[in-house]
């Protein structure tokens, strides 16, 4: 009996229901694949091959990016770092993200034995019934080690997923993270799953007739999808037909990654998304005309995956696929920045700046150890200047590079606020050091620069786990370069100066403890200047924010938590200045209030996002609240200890009081 393609869609594509379900609700597609274990890779990837593969363009998270960026964030999410060292293999290597992803695609059985999943607490493997020797409290596990307890892991993750995020325990959060990582890894190992797995097209007569009596792989099967639909006959109870459906679902239905590897043609809708090969399969079976335009790319990708037998075959296959995909992407104007983004991550600007800032801070500390002979003109101080300026140059270069890649001003995400604020702090500190030549501002700038880069690195790890990128597509309310360049930049300059004033407050209190009177007077003046700078930019930034709110939401002010936080900074800074001018506080109280200014700035910068309410709640990231409370506790502890020290000393020095 003949029937329409609607039955085909119900019978075959209905098996894709798993694609739309939450990861924690599935049992990882059931048991592991039953295919014979493939041999391990017997050669190292040529450098040229790795470089070419890094520049493969893909669409993920709403934007076009190099596959190297995608691989880097996936590995960072799973492993906690961007490299992976293999142990116990014939080739023991330190794999880059691109090399690791190549193994996931080409040699999945080998990649499953890499210890790639970081587990922060031994309670997690204990909770899922995993007992392995020689594992530490915080350690890494392979997919092969976790495979035997997948059902238990899935069950525990499903229970955790049914709770609201705020109701989950720390153990439940870690189990859920591990389960999501495991299922995403499974998808990575199936990016080339259709290669070498022909469909059983010879088992059913009418299908065999369409395909010339041969079992064919997915690209050829889809190329004849029209004839397949035209000749299809109903055989609901035929075991051979059921076996065919199961084989199709095994190859296509289990792949949920949705990584866009195949760009549309140049004459397609400019906003048309790139396709994954399961999407191509569904479109071809549904008879959509544009599906046929993807088949040459699909066949080229299959040729690349099939070339894993030797480096030469891989090079040839990759070049064939890359030539086709870059030609299409370039015709659509979607390839021009892919190679530049690969270079951006290869330079690693921000980690290099971290090392330079640390070196600069250590050198300025050493300059104090030898007394006068290690003063302002010593090699120690000159070295500190070189390291700190070098770190700032790397940081500014990285920020500028991101602006070019994104066609955006310096700040459009919370991650970028950390980079920008750190750069402004170091720049202001170096200017003050140039004017004062006392090494105090130099120490503050290098230390706060290093601290900012450390926090940026930690936050990048959280971005990998949540957004999968630090350059995501922006929400509609943020998609405006004018206001990002004016309000956002200005208000963050106010944040930066406020945090620098807080840092100088710590230095003043330290000098007070050691009774360094002249230095205390100098730092007191620096605090005053930086505080005025912060107030100016905070007020202007807050007003610009109101103008933007009126333009976007039709009201200048709505007592939104973020608006209240910005206003609180202005009020606190005005309180400090008025109290100082009115004689209500002396330098000791001035330093204390500047230390607390750091708490106020952090509350506006991060704290209001934790409320999850208001029109500015788009910046929330789970896990920040704990560290924010730690920072608050440290600052209040500093204030308490300073007051205790003041009481024990009987007040600050006379010269400092009159400064």
pLDDT of the residue at 357: 98
pLDDT of the residue at 361: 96
Q: Measure the CA–CA gap between 430 and 439, rounded to whole angstroms.
A: 10
Task: Count the alpha carbons within 13 Å of 576 in the hemisphere toward its beta carbon.
Answer: 31
Q: Measure the CA–CA gap between 426 and 431, rounded to whole angstroms.
A: 9
Task: Say if residue 196's pLDDT is above 60.
Answer: yes
Give percent of the chain above pLDDT 90.
Answer: 58
Name which of 258, 262, 281 is nearest 272 in CA terms.
262
- Kindly report which listed range (93-107, 188-202, 353-367) carries the lowest average pLDDT score: 188-202
pLDDT of the residue at 214: 86
Contact 114, 67 (CB under 8 A): no
Label residue 553 by pLDDT band (50, 70, 90): confident
Label residue 3 by pLDDT band (50, 70, 90): very low
pLDDT in tens, 448-503: 999 999 999 999 988 887 778 888 877 666 667 888 899 999 999 999 999 999 99
- Kindly report which listed range (7-16, 22-31, 415-424, 479-488) carries the lowest average pLDDT score: 22-31
Task: Say if residue 375's pLDDT is above 60.
Answer: no
* pLDDT average, residue stretch 427-435: 96
* pLDDT average, residue stretch 30-34: 42
pLDDT in tens, 237-288: 677 778 888 888 888 866 666 789 999 999 998 889 999 988 898 888 888 8
Task: Say if residue 336's pLDDT is above 80.
Answer: yes
Identity of the highest mean pLDDT range in 33-42, 442-451, 557-566 = 442-451
- Kindly report which listed range (200-214, 423-437, 508-522, 627-641) carries the lowest average pLDDT score: 200-214
pLDDT of the residue at 523: 95
pLDDT of the residue at 111: 96
pLDDT of the residue at 1: 38
Contacts (Cβ under 8 Å, ≥6 apart) of 588: 512, 642, 646, 651, 652, 656, 657
pLDDT of the residue at 648: 84
pLDDT of the residue at 33: 44
* pLDDT average, residue stretch 316-334: 95
Q: Measure the CA–CA gap between 224 and 211, rounded to whole angstroms.
A: 8
Contacts (Cβ under 8 Å, ≥6 apart) of 240: 200, 203, 204
Contact 278, 248 (CB under 8 A): no
pLDDT of the residue at 445: 96
Length of the chain: 659
pLDDT of the residue at 606: 87
pLDDT in tens, 579-589: 999 999 999 99
Task: Say if residue 6's pLDDT is above 80.
Answer: no
- Kindly report which listed range (30-44, 328-342, 434-448, 466-480) carries the lowest average pLDDT score: 30-44
Q: Measure the CA–CA gap between 176 and 158, rounded to whole angstroms.
A: 8
* pLDDT average, residue stretch 338-363: 96
Largest CA distance in the chain: 103
Label residue 31 by pLDDT band (50, 70, 90): very low
Label residue 19 by pLDDT band (50, 70, 90): very low
Task: Say if residue 233's pLDDT is above 70.
Answer: no
Q: Measure the CA–CA gap between 168 and 335, rounded to whole angstroms.
A: 42
pLDDT of the residue at 254: 63
Task: Say if residue 79's pLDDT is above 90.
Answer: yes
Q: Measure the CA–CA gap between 583 and 615, rounded to whole angstroms.
A: 40
Name which of 468, 354, 455 is nearest 72 in CA terms.
468
**CB count in 10 Å sphere of residue 88:** 8
Task: Say if residue 509's pLDDT is above 90.
Answer: yes
Label residue 617 by pLDDT band (50, 70, 90): low
pLDDT of the residue at 235: 55
Measured over the CA atoms of residue 417, residue 420, residue 424 and residue 425, the dihedral's sign is positive
pLDDT of the residue at 133: 82
Q: For 255, list phi and psi in degrees, rounded to 5.
A: -90, 115
pLDDT of the residue at 370: 64
pLDDT of the residue at 325: 96
pTM: 0.88
Label residue 541 by pLDDT band (50, 70, 90): very high
Which helix or strand (DSSP H or E) is residue 57 part of? strand 57-60
- Kindly report which listed range (51-65, 358-372, 402-416, 504-518) carries the lowest average pLDDT score: 358-372
Label residue 614 by pLDDT band (50, 70, 90): low
Residue 3, classed as helix, strand or coil, is coil
pLDDT of the residue at 512: 92
Contact 313, 299 (CB under 8 A): no
pLDDT of the residue at 9: 46
pLDDT of the residue at 537: 97
Task: Say if residue 162's pLDDT is above 60.
Answer: yes
pLDDT in tens, 131-143: 888 888 899 999 9
């Amino acid at each position: 009996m003949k029937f329409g393609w609607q039955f085909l869609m119900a019978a075959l594509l209905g098996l894709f229901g798993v694609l739309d379900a939450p990861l924690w609700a599935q049992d990882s597609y059931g048991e592991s694949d039953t295919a014979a274990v493939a041999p391990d890779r017997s050669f190292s990837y040529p450098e040229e091959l790795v470089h070419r593969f890094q520049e493969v363009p893909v669409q993920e998270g709403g934007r076009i990016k190099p596959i190297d960026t995608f691989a880097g964030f996936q590995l960072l999410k799973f492993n906690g770092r961007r490299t992976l060292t293999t142990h116990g293999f014939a080739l023991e290597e330190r794999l880059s993200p691109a090399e690791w992803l190549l193994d996931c695609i080409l040699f999945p059985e080998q990649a499953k034995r890499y210890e790639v999943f970081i587990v922060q607490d031994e309670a997690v493997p204990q909770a899922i019934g995993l007992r392995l020797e020689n594992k530490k409290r915080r350690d890494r596990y392979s997919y092969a080690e976790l495979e035997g307890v997948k059902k238990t892991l899935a069950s525990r993750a499903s229970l955790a997923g049914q709770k609201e995020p705020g109701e989950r325990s720390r153990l439940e959060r870690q189990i859920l993270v591990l389960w999501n990582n495991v299922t995403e890894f499974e998808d990575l190992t199936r990016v080339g799953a259709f290669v070498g797995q022909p469909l059983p097209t010879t088992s059913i007569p009418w299908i065999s007739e369409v395909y010339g009596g041969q079992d064919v792989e997915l690209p050829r099967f889809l190329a004849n999808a029209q004839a397949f639909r035209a000749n299809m006959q109903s055989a609901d109870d035929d075991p051979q037909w059921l076996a065919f459906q199961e084989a199709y679902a095994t190859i296509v239905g289990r792949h949920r990654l949705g990584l866009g590897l195949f760009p549309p043609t140049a004459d397609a809708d400019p906003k048309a998304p790139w396709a994954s090969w399961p999407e191509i399969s569904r479109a071809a079976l549904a008879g959509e005309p544009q599906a046929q335009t993807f088949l040459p790319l699909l066949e080229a990708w299959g040729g690349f995956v099939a070339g894993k037998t030797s480096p030469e075959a891989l090079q040839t296959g990759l070049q064939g696929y890359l030539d086709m995909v870059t030609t299409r992407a370039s015709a659509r104007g979607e390839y021009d920045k892919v190679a530049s983004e690969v270079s951006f991550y290869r330079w690693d600007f921000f980690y290099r700046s971290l090392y330079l800032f640390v070196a600069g801070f250590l050198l300025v500390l050493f300059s104090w150890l030898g007394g006068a002979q290690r003063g302002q003109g010593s090699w120690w101080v000159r070295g500190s200047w070189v390291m700190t300026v070098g770190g700032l140059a790397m940081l500014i270069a990285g920020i500028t590079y991101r602006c070019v890649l994104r066609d955006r001003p310096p700040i459009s995400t919370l991650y970028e606020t950390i980079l920008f604020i750190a750069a402004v702090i170091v720049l202001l500190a170096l200017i003050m050091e140039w004017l004062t030549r006392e090494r105090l501002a130099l120490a503050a700038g290098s230390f706060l620069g290093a601290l900012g880069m450390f926090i940026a690195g930690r936050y990048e790890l959280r971005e990998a786990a949540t957004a999968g990128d630090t350059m995501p597509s922006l929400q509609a309310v943020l998609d405006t370069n004018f206001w990002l360049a004016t309000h956002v930049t200005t208000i963050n300059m106010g944040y930066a100066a406020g945090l620098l004033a807080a840092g100088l407050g710590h230095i003043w209190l330290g000098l007070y403890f050691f009774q360094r009177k002249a230095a205390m007077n100098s730092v007191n003046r620096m605090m005053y200047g930086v505080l005025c700078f912060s107030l100016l930019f905070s007020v202007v930034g807050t007003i610009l924010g109101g103008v933007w709110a009126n333009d976007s939401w039709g009201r200048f002010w709505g007592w939104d938590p973020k608006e209240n936080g910005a206003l609180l900074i202005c009020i606190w800074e005005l309180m400090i200045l008025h109290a100082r001018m009115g004689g209500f506080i002396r330098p000791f109280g001035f330093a204390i209030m500047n230390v607390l200014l750091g708490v106020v700035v952090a509350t506006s910068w991060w704290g209001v996002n934790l409320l999850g309410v208001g029109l500015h709640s788009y910046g929330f990231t789970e896990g920040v609240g704990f560290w924010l409370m730690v920072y608050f506790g440290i600052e209040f502890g500093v204030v308490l200890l300073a007051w205790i020290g003041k009481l024990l000393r009987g007040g600050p020095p006379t010269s400092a009081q009159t400064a």
